[in-house]
């Protein structure tokens, strides 16, 4: 139980880094730490296949995708715009409310911890056949919702950072201005 608590603290610390890091690469590294903590938790539950998939698919492939998007967008340091002043207190309030709800659910829950035999019977060692059967039958909707959530996150990241070519200060605007002045040639 102490091992799971340590992993929980590590996973939450990584998640907090994802949300609070100012540099996108640091946030991605925090997400890797969270994903690896979950993988170690799977190992402690004797679900070795799930742990391997967690590391290969999420900490590997998905993080490569995220880093590719971060590098592709070339996010530059921009001065903080003072927009939506009301949003920060609302986000903090909702986050605090969520944390209180999770803590209340965890502390007030009266369900006993399942014994080792029950966990082994449900997980069946994390074999791929059992995971595939459960994932694509009982949890098919959740599987698709996670895929849509990941896609939405990538699209949101691109749309938040994308700049139009007409904005002053962009390379496209600078090149257009040079062409207009007769300094450069259009490509």
Specify the CATH number for the domain of residue 65.
1.20.120.1200
- pTM of this prediction? 0.54
Q: What is the DSSP letter of 125?
A: G
Q: Which of 19, 46, 73 is the last residue of a domain?
A: 73
Contact status, residue 7 vs residue 41, Cβ threshold 8 Å: yes
Mean pLDDT, to the nearest integer, of 118-143? 77
In a domain, 16, yes or no: yes
Higher-scoring residue by pLDDT: 63, 180 = 63
Give which of 173, 15, 50, 28 is closest to 123, Cα–Cα: 50
Number of separate domains in the chain: 2
CA 26 to chain centre: 12
- Alpha carbon distance 176, 182 (integer Å): 10
In a domain, 181, yes or no: yes
In a domain, 130, yes or no: no
Q: Which of 73, 89, 118 is the last residue of a domain?
A: 73
In a domain, 179, yes or no: yes
- Alpha carbon distance 136, 134 (integer Å): 6
For 17, the domain range is: 1-73
In a domain, 2, yes or no: yes
Q: Which of 73, 89, 106 is the last residue of a domain?
A: 73
How confident is the model at residue 172, as a pLDDT? Answer: 54
Contact status, residue 123 vs residue 38, Cβ threshold 8 Å: no
In a domain, 84, yes or no: no
Binned at pLDDT 50, 70 and 90, residue 178 comes out as: low
Q: Is the pLDDT of residue 167 over 60?
A: no
In a domain, 94, yes or no: no
């Amino acid at each position: 139980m102490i091992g799971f608590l340590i992993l929980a603290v590590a996973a939450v610390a990584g998640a907090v880094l994802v949300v609070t890091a100012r540099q996108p690469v640091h946030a991605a590294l925090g997400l890797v730490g969270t994903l690896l903590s979950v993988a170690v938790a799977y190992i402690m539950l004797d679900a070795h296949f799930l742990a391997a998939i967690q590391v290969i698919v999420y900490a590997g492939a998905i993080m490569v995708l995220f880093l590719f998007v971060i590098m592709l967008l070339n996010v530059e340091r921009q001065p903080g715009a003072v927009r939506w002043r009301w949003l920060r207190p609302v986000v903090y309030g909702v986050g605090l409310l969520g944390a209180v709800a999770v803590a209340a659910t965890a502390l007030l829950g009266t369900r006993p911890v399942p014994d080792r035999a029950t966990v082994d019977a449900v997980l069946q060692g994390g074999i791929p056949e059992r995971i595939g059967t459960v994932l694509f039958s009982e949890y098919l909707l959740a599987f698709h919702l996670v895929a849509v959530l990941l896609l939405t996150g990538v699209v949101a990241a691109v749309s938040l950072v994308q700049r139009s070519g007409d904005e002053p200060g962009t390379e496209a605007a600078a090149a257009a201005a040079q062409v207009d002045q007769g300094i450069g040639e259009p490509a």
